[in-house]
Structure 1
Amino acid sequence: MNKWLIILLSVLLFSCDKYLDVKPKGKRLLETTADYDAWLNNSNTMAYAIPNELNQLDDRLDLPNIKTPQTFVSDWIYVWRRQFADETTPPPVIWKDFYESIYYCNTVIQGIDEASGGTPEQKKSLKAEALLGRAFSYLYLVNLYGKSYNAATAAEDLSVPFVTSNDLNAPTPSRHTVQELYDHIIADINEAIPDLPQDNSKNRFRGNVAAGYSVLARTYLYMGDYVNASKNAQLALDHGDNQVLDYSTMSYAGEIRDLVTRRGTIYGRLLKTTYTQLTPELSYLKTFNTKDLRLAFYFLYTNDYSFNVRGQVYHQGIGVAYSNAYPNCGTSVEEMRLILAECAARGNDLPKAIEELHLLRKARFKPADYQKFESADQEEVLKKVLAERTFEFVFNGMRWFDMRRLDADGRMPVVNRYDGQGNIIASLPPKSQKYVLQIPLQVMYFNPSWPQNPWSE
């Protein structure tokens, strides 16, 4: 029973029609370097990697029609229920998706050196992409199932197992600490960067040097290491396209290109289901400038922008033109600009912070509607940067991680969930244990000796 449950589930559910099945059925094993390249190029393997359930944790989400008591898994996540399952038979949500991606990456890391064909440089490049992909998935896991990084406690705070094998019969590692996970993430990326390709402009889902630095920048931001976050964000921009996607030149959302070749994308990743229609919370909508093109391109039924009726406005995950405007869950030029802005604001380099904000914000308004933000107050500038993240990264699975780090920073207010009559049905207070998800019931069933994350109702 000490098998890696989630990997077993992932393989059983895997539906790729070319790989990882037995030869008698007419399928093909990964044998050549070209096979491994196609494996990483398969959109089902790497692109659609981010579980939609992460958006259920978002404080900007509203479910005005939610039932009491809640019966759907998505509703349980929305109200931060202790466990997101009552039995061990269904696959564990969120957990399974990231370990599935890790399994794909470990398959490349473990097997590419023995593949036939290809040059040593090609093999090194593919292994580097897999190392980056594995690190990217572990960055999510450590920030879901471990405490926010604190240098004083990270060596004791438990996180998730760091699995490097793709052998389904290998013993399950025990839970690693938060410090160990971050050390592995950083080591994997630093090992990968020298061998990553320089250009991924033909397929933004593939890794490159800029992607490596961009994931490092996000990693250090989540650690609160603003010096290294800024350094790596700049390196990401220096090694690739450093121009944000410019909405100001577009007439409507349908002009936003597919993420595969979209400008501004550094390391592309999509939600598992890209066609989404989510209801934003009204007070959040009221924080938008009504001339902001992100509001025009992604939100349906905004009417007169008064935002007074719950459930009336929807965020359209593929853009209001029903196009290819789905949000990037991976890294982007826009994210790097905002990391630079936040790090500068925290370091009281206000001109730098304001300029980075300007480079992003001027591309989110028509020229006649744009006004550059100016302030000489450090706290005001930092709040503006943090607010800008809420406008730029809407329902792309990232908000929970900002909520966690802002809570650790003493900047998160209580978050309440309401039923259709306006009654509070769940609360997430500051410093709540709920900011660390519990290890899924299904996983604990196979690993009963693991300590479970504490939980307070």
Structure 2
Amino acid sequence: MKKHIHSSFILLIAITAVVSSCKDSFLEVIPKGKQVASSVNDYELLMNSAIHYQYSGGGWQVPVLLGDEIAAEDIEFQQAYPQTQRLFKWEAQVYELTDESQDIKVPLTNNYALNKIINEVMDAEGGTEVQKRILKAEAMATRAFNYFQLINLYAKPYNEATAATDPGFPVNTTSDITKNNFSRGTVKEMYDFIIADLKEAIAALPATQPVSQTRMSRAAASALLGKVYLFMAKPEEALMYLNQAFADMNAWPVPARLYDYNNTFAPGGSFLPIGWNGPISPSVNRNDFTETLLSKTFMNISGNGNNGIIISPATAALYGSSDLRLKFYSATFSSNMANPSGRLRKYGVLYSRFGIGLADMYLLRAECKARTNDVSGAVEDVQALRSKRMPAADAVVPAAVAGDRAALIAFIIDERIREFAAEGHRWFDMRRLSVDPLFTGISFTHTLFLTGGGTETYTLQQPNRLVLRLPYTILSVNPGMADNP
């Protein structure tokens, strides 16, 4: 397959960030900007860096603002950054000429370190062949994760009929900053690349639990490959890998498990007391891996800012009154003053998770089962999640839904909104549903609630605005690269 190389500008950003994030112990001997690692321990340091799993700001806030489950209060929204406002309005041009796009810079910075591991670790000093193969596999699966995020921002949704001609996002496989030969390739080429990385990684990764859930495991890589296949509208293949992920995870000494909100919000529960900034939950502790196979977190713009982001009234209406996930919402402004409209904002969510989580796996597998006509299996998986989020009697999937495959799939998609609202997941679902025959004619809107009353409504113009335009900082140094419309 053709390799697509990013410009030296992009890789220069990457090497600067990686060099500054690594320990100086091995950089003091070899000049910075040259070879920055030589031993297996050096490559372990690169793989173990927090750049791969803790995103302090920017980057993955972008999908939060693009999801149609959110709305905004003008009294605070008018104070938001211009990029925030443009993303919410689905404007064509998001970035100014000098703006850096963190959603591109962060993963490409990370990929510089990952490419060094992939290309060099097998020749590293010390360590065993097994250690080296595992490190390489972790890096390949992590690189695949990064490119899966990028293609869901900067290329069209996967459509079998057009994927071979739809422009993709450039794939870089080197850590040589002098390379300056690049191409966007196609969506199909990029998905082929992601799948190849993941399959090779899965074959090399052990089934055992990782030392830390900030590192890639075979279970996490399998779950990611299952998600990739579902986004390609291939539920049979997706189901196989999701089942493997569950099997591997369940064999761990301490498998991931769902918090039971019926207990954590009960008197004396671990999420209590609910203070002015929300419950004491994993959303305020990025080191809580209880529900996580692969931890990746970002500081959520909807949970810790004064940008006016709320959930839409239609989203709020999806929750039953006994749904304990409502406790993560407050009818207040960020100042903690009451919102007289009663509209809800997510609060206390300092850190949102976008890695591989157990709730996501249950809902992805449920959807795969429903799409492959295992309706009872799909219901079982949905209820496994719902029973941990509300009283058992209310967790049951309604009979009319459970007996109708199409209705059940729609219910699962709604459950994804209930579970992940205002945390970025909805954007990825919007894109794939836009090319799904079961959701023909689907439209997406944002509502801005004006301070003096009334509203402004923004409608996402498909298909162009389902894809972000490339920032000028990328195009200016890559004059041959075509932009998105």
- Offset of residue 434 of structure 1: 0.5
| Alpha-carbon contact 1:6-1:96 (below 8 Å) kept | yes
Structure 1 match to 2:370: 345
| In structure 2, distance between residues paired with 1:107 and 1:176 | 22
One of 73, 96, 116 as aligned partner of 2:83? 73
Q: Work out whether 1:358 is the aligned partner of 2:383.
A: yes
Report the secondary structure of 1:396's partner residue: coil
Q: Work out whether 1:291 is the aligned partner of 2:315.
A: no
Query: Which letter maps to 2:361?
Result: M
Structure 2 match to 1:23: 28
Structure 1 match to 2:101: 92
Structure 1 unmatched runs, 5+? 320-325
Query: Which letter maps to 2:408?
Result: V
| In structure 2, distance between residues paired with 1:83 and 1:93 | 16
Distance 1:11 1:383, change over 3 A: same
One of 246, 249, 260 as aligned partner of 2:263? 249
| In structure 1, distance between residues paired with 2:349 and 2:304 | 7
| In structure 1, distance between residues paired with 2:226 and 2:65 | 25
Query: Which letter maps to 1:30?
Result: A
| Alpha-carbon contact 2:51-2:110 (below 8 Å) kept | no
Structure 2 match to 1:322: none
Query: Which letter maps to 1:383?
Result: A
| Alpha-carbon contact 1:217-1:230 (below 8 Å) kept | yes
One of 346, 354, 365 as aligned partner of 1:315? 346
Structure 2 match to 1:377: 404
Structure 2 unmatched runs, 5+? 1-5, 251-255, 272-278
| In structure 2, distance between residues paired with 1:46 and 1:183 | 24
Structure 2 match to 1:416: 446
| In structure 1, distance between residues paired with 2:378 and 2:68 | 26
Please give the root-mean-square deviation of Cα atoms over the aligned residues, in Å: 3.0
Between 350-359 and 2-11, the greater mean CA deviation after superposition: 2-11
Report the secondary structure of 1:279's partner residue: strand
- TM-score, length-scaled by structure 1: 0.87
Aligned length: 441
- TM-score, length-scaled by structure 2: 0.83
Query: Which letter maps to 2:249?
Result: G
Structure 1 match to 2:476: 445
Structure 2 match to 1:323: none
- Offset of residue 68 of structure 1: 7.1
Q: 1:4-403, aligned counterparts within 5 Å?
A: 4-13=8-17, 15-16=20-21, 18=23, 23=28, 29-48=36-55, 51-65=60-74, 72-87=82-97, 89-200=98-209, 202-241=211-250, 243-250=257-264, 251=269, 252=271, 253-254=279-280, 256=282, 258=285, 260=287, 262-272=289-299, 276-277=304-305, 278-296=309-327, 298-301=328-331, 309=340, 312-318=343-349, 326-367=351-392, 370-374=395-399, 375-403=402-430
| In structure 1, distance between residues paired with 2:15 and 2:449 | 38
- Offset of residue 256 of structure 1: 4.2
Query: Which letter maps to 1:40?
Result: M
Report the secondary structure of 1:327's partner residue: strand
Q: Work out whether 1:427 is the aligned partner of 2:459.
A: yes
Distance 1:38 1:198, change over 3 A: farther
